[in-house]
Amino acid sequence: MKHLLLAALVAGSFGSIPLPAGADVVVVQTAPPPPRAERIPAPRRGYVWAPGHWEWRGGHHVWVNGSWMRERRGYVYHAPTWVERDGRWVMERGTWVRGGGRDRDGDGVPNRYDARPNNPNRS
């Protein structure tokens, strides 16, 4: 256990803590760049827009374009975000959360990205 802790501390001094593939937690010392502007395609029935985001790969931030994801009835998708904690940046992975109300008109585009978030005439 001491060797693992020591390895994590040493790796942290190089800017990031490497974790096994598929790990849920990414911690780095480098802040992500500002999000890129994306053109969101027209809403698709039965799908939710997952906005683009920065991921940490190969020792630097890499942009991942947004995409449509199949809707999960009764769930709301929370996109990945970077949060600063104690001088380090932690990536909170995208996840589905039961309930919520972030897509009031049910067109698959979160209200914060929707030009008309309460459009009663959606198709």
Asked if the structure places residue 117 within a domain, the reply is: no
Determine whether 80 is exposed, middle or buried from the number of CB atoms within 10 Å of its CB (0-12, 13-18, 19+).
Answer: middle
Residue 37 confidence (pLDDT): 94
What does the block give as tokens for 88?
């380090």
pLDDT tens-digit profile of 11-23? 444 444 444 445 5
Residue 6 lies in a domain: yes
- On whether residue 110 sits in a domain, the answer given is no
* Domain annotation covers residue 113: no
Three-class SS state of 92:
strand
In a domain, residue 26? The reply is: yes
Q: Is residue 9 part of a domain?
A: yes
**54-113 pLDDT per residue, tens:** 999 999 999 999 999 999 988 889 999 999 999 999 999 999 987 765 666 666 666 777
Nearest CA among 73, 88, 85 for reference residue 13? 88
Identify the pLDDT of residue 54: 97
- Is 105 contained in some domain? no
In a domain, 46, yes or no: yes
> What total of structural domains would you count in the chain?
1
Please report, in angstroms and rounded to a whole number, the separation of the first and last CA atoms in the chain.
Answer: 57
Name the pLDDT band for 52 (thresholds 50, 70, 90): very high
Q: For residue 11, what are the domain limits?
A: 2-98
